[in-house]
Amino acid sequence: MRNHEKRSVPLPRSFAGELGDLARSKGQNDLLCTAAEGGPLRYNNFWNRVFDPAVRDAGLGRMGITPHKLRHTAASLAIAADADVKVVQLLLGHKGASMTLNVYGHLLPDRLDEVADALDAGREVALAFTDASLIPPG
């Protein structure tokens, strides 16, 4: 179900130079990319009038690129960059982290070795403390 909620999306600094001229003419709360009339872009109009022609012009028409596939790519890249699942949830606008985990959980590293190492370290500390407390004074 699409809820079309308004949200902020982070913009990598590397895009700033490419979008700088466009952003300079905008106020802090203005939309960066707008429809021809100046209002918000509507998904279907954007897809048909802007996105698909841009994909064709870039020579990528046979790749089946869609805005939704780019959304998945953004989530996958965020996870590969070690983004926390709550950050990915906010990025995608999911209502809860469980939805994000259900869709993208397979991309997260299992980190079971890290857990085992941490348990070993904790065990060693506990055993050292216990052994030290059994040594009679003097």
Tell me whether residue 13 is in a domain: no
Tell me whether residue 35 is in a domain: no
Q: Which pair of structure tokens corresponds to residue 54? A: 């841009």
Average pLDDT for consecutive 10-residue bins of the chain (138 residues)?
A: 62 83 84 83 85 94 92 93 92 91 89 90 86 62
The model's pTM: 0.67
The boundaries of the domain holding residue 102 are: 42-134
User: How many domains would you assign to the chain?
Assistant: 1
**Residue the block writes with tokens 């348990």:** 119
pLDDT given at position 29 = 84
Tell me whether residue 108 is in a domain: yes
pLDDT given at position 74 = 92
Instruction: Encode 101-127: b = buried (16+ Cβ within 10 Å), e = exposed.
Output: eeebeeeeeeeeeeeeeeeeeeeeeee
Tell me whether residue 28 is in a domain: no
Tell me whether residue 64 is in a domain: yes
Tell me whether residue 29 is in a domain: no
pLDDT given at position 53 = 94
